[in-house]
A = this chain, B = another copy of it.
């Protein structure tokens, strides 16, 4: 078996047991990169020698009998908005060309502490907003990979790396995961620290995780969940055994709520049919849940917050280099500069009110909401990364969400199924996701 096809968990076990070395694993991934990168173009920066150096160091540590981290010798790709000391981090804009951070983002320190090899930096849209990068969908190069974490999703899908990190401020993890047919996980707001990542919107920014299995997501999340006093969203809390919880069987069969959201009309006919069939197949384990009509407002609140927080965070870029920013990003910043503080506060206040309503639904009846990840499979063309509308509400409320590659369109392109869980019950959401995947598989 090609080591590049191993899951991260299997690869870590194989390295620990001496069945393969990290150098062999990383070499296999680099071989895959050589084969598919010309078509996929997932990487913004990749230095094979540096990756192999890290792998060699990991192998030497094992030979010396040093303690091994849970990701010892396993390569990880990082969206190019995540700072890496001494390695370029250009945030998808020519304005930051040649930028080399002096220190690692908190998540990068955590990955290194877990023994991971930083394979390289993956392509992001411009400043993790709409203007696409060069990446193409590994399933069909004429289709978008989704964004803004385009390279992370595509690299994992194409087998170039078993794990990758991205981010999500609207739909930037769930959507590319769905389009590329991998598992994408946006944790609860504040669970994984964002220090050292390009800040777009402190209220909406989340770290995003990509893997080929839910088990790998749990393994990765367990390394990254933690308190960081430099991230105002971070709170000290007990260490959650993600893998233990998510890998156990649910004590009772989960109950899902099928949520169409206010954007159901945007879903294409094929996806509508696929979801109807999925819901049908789940029998009494799912029931349709209509959200309150006021939920339609959530998109406006999200936009208000994102516009004015991005305008504040990217003020310097806009002031000094707006001629080299894309038109959509300039428009957003200009819109954001006009937002009034009273409207911004009103939008901020809506979040806990909305979240409380959802919390009640999860407490009283549902293990998770079942909903599309995107309005269909990856759209044709590379000029847009697709519509994030099926992610906005959950991002706004900070609920954990996972996209599972359980369905397929007639084109053969993957169609993502999104599960959304109770805030701060991330490990349970992963457990429900494993249950759903097993159930769908058993009925296929």
B336 touches A341 (CB 8 A): yes
Residues of B within 8 Å of A311, CB to CB, are: 341-342
Q: Can you list 24 A-B pairs, Cβ within 8 angstroms, ordered by A?
A: A308-B341, A308-B342, A308-B345, A309-B345, A311-B341, A312-B341, A312-B342, A312-B345, A312-B346, A315-B342, A336-B341, A336-B342, A337-B340, A337-B342, A338-B340, A339-B340, A339-B341, A339-B342, A340-B340, A340-B341, A341-B341, A341-B343, A341-B344, A344-B344
A341-353 near B? 1/0 per residue, CB < 8 Å: 1111110000000
In the bound complex, CA of A346 to CA of B343 (Å): 16
Closest beta carbon of chain B to A201's beta carbon, Å: 10
Closest residue on chain B to residue A236 by CB atoms: B236
Closest 9 CB pairs of A and B: A308-B341, A341-B344, A312-B345, A339-B341, A312-B342, A341-B341, A311-B342, A337-B342, A308-B342
Residues of B within 8 Å of A341, CB to CB, are: 308, 311-312, 336, 339-341, 343-344
Closest residue on chain B to residue A235 by CB atoms: B235
Closest residue on chain B to residue A348 by CB atoms: B312
Residues of B within 8 Å of A343, CB to CB, are: 341
Closest beta carbon of chain B to A316's beta carbon, Å: 12
Closest beta carbon of chain B to A369's beta carbon, Å: 25
Residues of B within 8 Å of A344, CB to CB, are: 341, 344
User: Which bucket holds chain A's interface residue count?
Assistant: 10 to 19
How many copies altogether? 2
Residues of B within 8 Å of A345, CB to CB, are: 308-309, 312
In the bound complex, CA of A343 to CA of B337 (Å): 9
Closest residue on chain B to residue A310 by CB atoms: B342
Closest residue on chain B to residue A232 by CB atoms: B352
Residues of B within 8 Å of A309, CB to CB, are: 345
In the bound complex, CA of A343 to CA of B346 (Å): 16
Closest beta carbon of chain B to A397's beta carbon, Å: 16
Residues of B within 8 Å of A308, CB to CB, are: 341-342, 345
Residues of B within 8 Å of A346, CB to CB, are: 312
Closest residue on chain B to residue A307 by CB atoms: B341
Closest residue on chain B to residue A337 by CB atoms: B342
Q: Which of A315, A336, A344, A345 has the most CB of B within 10 A?
A: A345
In the bound complex, CA of A342 to CA of B339 (Å): 8
In the bound complex, CA of A345 to CA of B201 (Å): 11
Closest beta carbon of chain B to A385's beta carbon, Å: 26
Closest residue on chain B to residue A304 by CB atoms: B341
In the bound complex, CA of A346 to CA of B308 (Å): 11
In the bound complex, CA of A346 to CA of B319 (Å): 15
A308-341 near B? 1/0 per residue, CB < 8 Å: 1101100100000000000000000000111111
In the bound complex, CA of A341 to CA of B339 (Å): 6
Closest beta carbon of chain B to A258's beta carbon, Å: 32
Closest residue on chain B to residue A347 by CB atoms: B341
In the bound complex, CA of A212 to CA of B271 (Å): 72
Closest beta carbon of chain B to A207's beta carbon, Å: 21
